[in-house]
Amino acid sequence: MGEERRSQDTGNSGEKKLAIFQGEARIGEVMQGIQAIQLKPEDFSSPVALQMALSRIYDAVLKVLETGPKKRYIAEVRFTDSIGNNVVFAVDLGESPPPFSRDKVKARIMVEIYEED
């Protein structure tokens, strides 16, 4: 899953490094606005911190429900980086269903590293 290829480009914009990773993506739906709901490690530091986090989540869910159910499609992308760390991030695919027949697909992640002028 973490296959990597590197190349170098010394064109007009200077030297660049390019890394291409192979991974997997899982396609799913989320309600718009729900991405604001996040639990952080400090939310579990005490019972009071957890209660405050649950209140924050409750308020966010109510706000989403007040605006009406509007779904967005996302891809949860997973790959292994150059030193073996698992990397997970999301890509917003919009409001229309993506043109895939399955909910698990392949992903190619391209990282270009360069200096800004």
On whether both 12 and 51 belong to a single domain, the answer is no
Its pTM surpasses 0.85: no
For residue 13, name the pLDDT band (cuts at 50, 70, 90): low
Residues 77 and 111 in one domain: yes
| Residues 108/25, Cβ–Cβ less than 8 Å | no
Q: Is 28 exposed, middle or buried (0-12, 13-18, 19+ CB in 10 A)?
A: middle
Q: Are residues 77 and 115 in the same domain?
A: yes
**What's the pLDDT at 1?**
54
- Please tell me which residue, 13 or 91, carries the higher pLDDT value: 91
The H or E element spanning position 7 is strand 4-9
